[in-house]
């Protein structure tokens, strides 16, 4: 494999990126990355030699480092399952992903993942520490996020684990929308993530989300093009219907997937759950009838929330999810408008003490006018409904 040198020019807070394709992962391991960057890979195994980029807040993203397979094998004690999450001997804790060798697009998909995560830097995107492209080995070294993925905390919550509260769920939704907004609006050309799902949303110690696994990412349409035609890839239950049927990929395809994730956060249900009874296995199909009647919104709420949520914010959150899940992509909002609406909901956190100690008096006409004025960000989204 030759050397791919990737350079980027800064242009009005917009990030120029290179080519794209797809990726598949087989397993992730935890180890410690070399503090000094020793064991540099030879030029024949270097995928990205240099990368210059600035993310939205102006800070610089470091270039990915090249590691030898021996270094990574030693750090994980030959990739023992016990070291999928564990401690090594190099210092900084990282996660190592081994790529599937059986895929026909393996090399191209590996390059996509390295390129995307080397050139795109944002607090809500996972950070790429380095990679290994030695022989037929393809490994990626990420920052280690200790709380795992969103699905680990949202589904099948055991009695020994505290379920996510309302405020944390909204925080995760806001951070996820910020990551997508960066890909859609700040990257140049825009990037279609194409594989947004709860399993790909990783969580830091404070439940700040980061999008991971960029192997399916594609460059979005530019100029007068309305879509990108590509092979249908992704995860059943999260794919937009028009993309699944025609292979026509747009930014609104990601918006649909985000709507599925937001609905998962609200309901605590999986996008596809074959264990549930017939009629409830597909989350979107099950939820659609409830969207038509606000009085039935409470039937969508995760029972583990135990009614600890602000009812008005719940109504708005479900309305946002319903708009993202419109079958016609032109009727879905832009992710920037979704972000504005969710940030507004995040500014009205649930306060259990206030909810239990007092009930608000009926609103006066002037109070209702002020309330409508304060909900202006949601109005921006509602025009798509």
Q: What is the pLDDT of residues 274-293, one digit of tens each?
A: 999 999 999 999 999 999 99
pLDDT at 258: 98
Q: Is 302 a catalytic residue?
A: no
| Residue for token pair 């895929």 | 103
The yes-or-no verdict on residue 49 having pLDDT over 80 is no
DSSP string over 50-72? ----B-TTSPBPPPPEE--HHHH
Highest mean pLDDT among 10-24, 165-179, 223-237: 165-179
Q: Is 370 helix (H, G, I), strand (E, B) or coil?
A: helix
CA distances for 137 relative to 29, 71, 107, 294, angstroms:
15, 13, 10, 53
Q: Which helix (H) or strand (E) holds 320?
A: helix 311-324
* Domain 150-382 in this protein, CATH class: mainly alpha
Predicted confidence at residue 66, as pLDDT, reads 86
CA distances, 133 to each of 4, 45, 71 (Å) = 12, 5, 12
Give the CATH number of domain 10-143; options: 3.40.50.1000, 3.40.1190.20, 3.30.200.20, 3.40.50.1220: 3.30.200.20
Q: How far apart are CA 137 and CA 129, in angstroms?
A: 17
Tell me the mean pLDDT in the region 144-166: 92
In this structure, what token pair is assigned to residue 327? 């079958």
pLDDT of amino acid 180: 97
Looking at residue 378, its pLDDT comes to: 45
Q: Where are the domains of the chain?
A: 10-143, 150-382
Find the DSSP H helices in the chain.
69-75, 106-119, 150-154, 166-181, 241-246, 251-267, 283-291, 311-324, 335-346, 352-357, 365-374, 376-382
Reduce the DSSP state of residue 274 to 3 states and report it: coil
User: At CA 78, angle to CA 74 and CA 82, rounded to 5?
Assistant: 110
270 close to 203: Cβ distance less than 8 angstroms: no
- Per-residue pLDDT averaged across 188-196, rounded? 92
The pair of three-digit structure tokens given for residue 232, joined into one six-digit string: 């249908």
Q: How does residue 100 score in pLDDT terms, banded at 50, 70 and 90? A: low
pLDDT at residue 85 tops 90: no
Question: Residues in the chain, how many?
Answer: 385
* pLDDT at residue 356, as a whole number: 57
Residue 42: what pLDDT? Answer: 34
Confidence at residue 264, expressed as pLDDT on a 0 to 100 scale: 98
What are the pLDDT digits (tens) for 57-78?
A: 334 566 788 888 888 887 777 7
For 312-338, what is each residue's pLDDT tens digit?
999 999 999 999 999 999 999 999 999
- Band (45; pLDDT cuts 50, 70, 90): very low
Indicate which residue of 195, 213, 254, 302 is catalytic. 195
Instruction: Output the pTM of the full model.
Output: 0.76
Question: SS3 of 334, please?
Answer: coil
3-state secondary structure 76-102: CCCCCHHHCCCCCCCEEEEEEEEECCC
């Amino acid at each position: 494999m030759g050397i791919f040198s990737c350079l980027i020019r800064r242009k009005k807070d917009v990030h120029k990126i290179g080519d794209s394709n797809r990726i598949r992962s087989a397993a992730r391991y935890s180890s410690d990355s070399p503090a000094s960057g020793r064991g540099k890979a030879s030029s024949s195994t270097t995928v990205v030699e240099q990368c210059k980029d600035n993310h939205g807040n102006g800070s610089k993203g470091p270039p990915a480092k090249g590691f030898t397979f021996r270094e990574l094998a030693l750090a994980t004690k030959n990739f023992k399952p016990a070291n999928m999450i564990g401690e090594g001997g190099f210092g900084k804790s990282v996660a190592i992903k081994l790529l599937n060798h059986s895929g026909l697009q393996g090399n191209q998909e590996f390059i996509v993942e390295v390129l995307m995560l080397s050139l795109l830097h944002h607090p809500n995107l996972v950070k790429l520490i380095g990679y290994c492209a030695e022989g037929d080995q393809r490994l990626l070294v990420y920052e280690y996020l200790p709380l795992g993925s969103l699905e680990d905390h949202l589904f099948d919550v055991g009695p020994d684990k505290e379920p996510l509260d309302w405020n944390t769920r909204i925080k995760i939704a806001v951070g996820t929308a910020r990551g997508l907004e960066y890909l859609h609006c700040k990257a140049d050309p825009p990037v279609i993530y194409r594989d947004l799902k709860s399993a790909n949303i990783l969580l830091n110690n404070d439940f700040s989300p980061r999008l991971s696994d960029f192997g399916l990412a594609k460059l979005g349409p530019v100029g007068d093009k309305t879509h990108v035609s590509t092979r249908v890839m992704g995860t059943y239950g999260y794919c937009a219907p028009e993309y699944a049927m025609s292979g026509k990929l747009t930014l609104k395809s990601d918006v649909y997937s985000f709507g599925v994730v937001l609905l998962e956060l609200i309901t605590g249900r999986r996008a596809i759950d074959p264990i549930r009874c017939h009629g409830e296995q597909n989350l979107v199909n099950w939820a659609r009838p409830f969207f038509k009647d606000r009085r039935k919104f409470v039937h969508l709420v995760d029972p583990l929330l135990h009614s600890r949520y602000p009812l008005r914010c719940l109504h708005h959150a479900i309305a946002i999810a319903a708009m993202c899940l419109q079958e016609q992509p032109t009727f879905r909002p832009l992710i920037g408008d979704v972000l504005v609406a969710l940030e507004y909901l995040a500014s009205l956190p649930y306060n259990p003490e206030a909810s239990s100690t007092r009930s608000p008096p009926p609103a006066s006409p002037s109070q209702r006018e002020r309330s409508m004025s304060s909900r202006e960000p949601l109005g921006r989204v509602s025009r798509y409904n």
